[in-house]
Amino acid sequence: MESQVRGGTRWKRFAVVMVPSVAATACIGVALAQGALAASFSVSGQSFKVTAQTLHGEGFSQYGAIDQGYTMSGGKALHPVAVSAFKSARIQKMCQSVVTPDIPILGDVTLRLEAGDSSDQDKQVHADNLYIDVEDLQADATFHNIDIGVAAKDASKGPGMKGNGEQANPFGFAQQADSADLSNVKQTAWATTAGTFKLSGLHMSLHKGSGAGIECY
């Protein structure tokens, strides 16, 4: 899912903002991996990449919305997205990466998170009430008992619309299915929200640079 926000990020600002957030993310990630934390969370404001070997979701719905991101100069910008919602999801071999660009001396720095790299379903990534605001998606997908063209507010098979100030038309086009199976997933997203999120086998790392071989794809 492409992290292409560009701007003149200063090293001091990066150190002040990035180091505490990395530490907090690490603590939260460890708690999630151990099943000790079941809280809503979101990642937004900048696009990021996500890949998965497989994703099985129960109670699927999808509808259009608008997310807020940032321009190259740091201003605000609106981005149309497709919100993919699941009552529950199981993800094998998940990778998520986001780039902090143009740091003096260092250049781009990529934060990369990987989890669920196991054939054992109990050791994969598990999420409940999962919402992914997708800008671009590539995958092999199978939808079971799908309904196409329902109003977003009437998509009852999924967890419902996010609400909480979400910029989406409840009367807009939507689709839904009893379940969905996706493989070889590559996507660019602007936000992820979940009621609970368990990351088994979590590995988080920082890398100098960006692009293929450093980001998830």
How do residues 128-184 score in pLDDT, each as one tens digit? 999 999 999 999 999 999 999 999 999 999 999 998 889 999 999 999 999 999 999
3-state secondary structure of 13: helix
Between CA 160 and CA 23 the distance in angstroms is 33
Sequence ranges of the domains in the chain: 11-208
Supply the pLDDT for residue 44.
Answer: 61
At 25, is the pLDDT very low, low, confident or very high (cuts 50, 70, 90)? very low
CB atoms within 10 A of CB 141: 14
Between CA 23 and CA 33 the distance in angstroms is 15
User: pTM for the complete prediction?
Assistant: 0.81
* Average pLDDT score over the chain: 84
Q: What is the mean pLDDT of residues 7-21?
A: 43
Q: What is the tally of helices (H) and strands (E) in the chain?
A: 1, 8
Q: Please give the backbone phi and psi of residue 109, each rounded to the nearest 5 degrees, phi first.
A: -130, 130
Residue 158 has what DSSP assignment? S
How do residues 62-101 score in pLDDT, each as one tens digit? 999 999 877 767 788 899 999 999 999 999 999 999 998 8
Q: How many residues make up the chain in this entry?
A: 217
Q: Tokens 């997708």 map to which residue?
A: 134
